[in-house]
Structure formats: C-alpha cells, structure tokens
Amino acid sequence: MELSPETINSLLNQGIELAYKVIPSLIYALLFYIVGKFLINKFIKGFTRILERRDANPSLNTFLVGLVKALMYVSLFIGIATILGVPMSSFLAILGAAGLAIGLALQGSLSNFAGGVLILLFKPFKVGDVITGQGHTGTVSKIDILYTHLYTFDNKEVVIPNGNLANSDVVNITAQPTRRVDINVGVSYDTDLKKAREVIFDILKKDDRVHADPEPVVWLNAFGDSSLDLVVRAWADKENVWPVYFETMEKIKEAFDRHEIEIPFPQRVVYQKNNG
C-alpha cells in the first residue's frame, strides 16, 4: 500500500513531535540515574564506615547496608519512572500487589527475618555466648539474619530459626562474669554436721578459684529418706564453674573418707512385729 505525501508528512511531524517529548525525558532520566547512583554509592560508603566504627554485629551491618541500599534504589527508579511519565498510581499498585504476594509466600521466612533483626538490634546474646533455647544448649557460633547457629558441648551444630528464638525464653548462661556453683551432698544421720561443714569449708577456702565475696555457704537443705542433705553454694568466674564443680565433688569424697564421714546409699529400716 502506497502512502500519500500528506500521510508521510503527517507521520514525520508526529514522529518529530514525539521525539521532542520523549528524548528530553530520556536524557533527564539518564542524568537522574547517573547522579542518583553516584550519590547512593557515596552515601552507602559513608554509612558502612559509620556502622563499622560502631562495633556492631557484622550480620547486622550487612543487613542494614543492604536494606538502605535497596530502599534508595527503589526511590531512584520511582523518580525515573515519574520523569518518563509512568502513572504512579499504577506503579505503586503493582508494587503493593507484588509485595503482598511475596509476603504470603514467605510468611515463615519473614518471621525469622523479623526475629533476626530483633536479636541483632537488642543483642540478648552474641557470638561466643553459651545459651539454652528451643531445648538446645550450646555456644553461639554465628547469628545470621534468618538463623542462629549453635555448637553443643558434644560438637553438634544446631541451626535454630530466629523467629522461634525471638518469641520464646532464652537463657544466656555466660552473660554475667561470675556464676554460682551448686553442689548437693548427703551425709548419714549420725554425722556431726559441724564437722562436715568445716571439712567442706576447708576445701573451698583452699581453692583460689572460689570467690571470698560472696562468701561460700554450706547449709542443711533437707532431711532425706536415707541422708541429711547438704547444699554447697560458692561463686566462681564463669569459665571456672565446671572445673570447680567436678573437682570439689571429688575433693569432698576424698576428705569425707579421711574423716570417716559417711555418704550413705539408699536404705530402709524394717521393723518386724512379733505377735506371739
């Protein structure tokens, strides 16, 4: 089909008119992108240096930098779309629908994500702490934005979702520099309690790892079925708790043997009634 000269001139005029409208917008959008990207990179570098000086958790730093960078780039592309004449209402509606769909598909992961943010911000525990959470006890080896990694005392790795940790009780065993050592020991009912207490106190006083303040205590705790139950409480630095516990137990046994203080085993006294 042949086009008439008038049609060709009309199309050419429309093309030129469109070019006058589109080309400046494209140039402005390109300049806006170049300048915006330069400013974003400058800001992100400064923001990263500030976070590094704060001595924050590396995982939190990475997350915050990524989040700020993503938000700034979204703002940049919204600005470019505005320059190109894209209707913002439609653009935002599409963005909102996409966000809702992604949120529904990733409910569990978003819960872990939110939990990770809370843990990294408020720091109920940190890498190197020994914690008990979700039925597991171990040393925290890594805190990611979604999961916390523990190494148990028998060297198993446990990966716990941060959403569960953030919404349940967590015991930080090594949060304080000192901890109390609790030891329970039973002696026979005919034992001289004063002597037994003196023997235990002598063991504790000779151990440099046991703190003098708070002062160790040894008290009668209960009248057991087969023994008088003593409770021994002493304070030590957190790294010495278990050595003090196990070694003191052994020393108490050896000292009781030397002083002929009996540690009884379960027993029953049986009375026979003679009706004859």
99: CATH: 1.10.287.1260
pLDDT, position 135: 92
- 49 in the same domain as 63: yes
Q: What angle do CA 93, 75, 109 make, to 5 degrees?
A: 70
Phi-psi region of 150 (alpha: psi -120 to 50; beta: other; left: phi over 0): beta
In a domain, residue 147? The reply is yes
pLDDT at 63 over 90: no
- Residue ranges with strand state E in the chain: 130-133, 136-143, 147-152, 157-161, 170-172, 178-187, 217-223, 228-237
Model confidence, pTM: 0.62
- 168 in the same domain as 183: no
In a domain, residue 50? The reply is yes
How far apart are the C-alpha atoms of 186 and 70, rounded to whole Å?
A: 64
**Contact call for residues 222 and 186 (beta carbons, < 8 A):** no
Q: How many domains are contained in the chain? A: 3
pLDDT at 202 over 60: yes
CATH number at residue 129: 2.30.30.60
| Range of the structural domain that residue 235 is part of | 178-258
Question: Where residue 4 falls among pLDDT bands split at 50, 70, 90?
Answer: low
What is the percent of the chain where pLDDT is above 90? Answer: 45
- 207 in the same domain as 161: no
The amino acid sitting at 149 is H
- 156 in the same domain as 99: no
Q: How many CA atoms lie within 13 A of 142 on its CB side?
A: 9
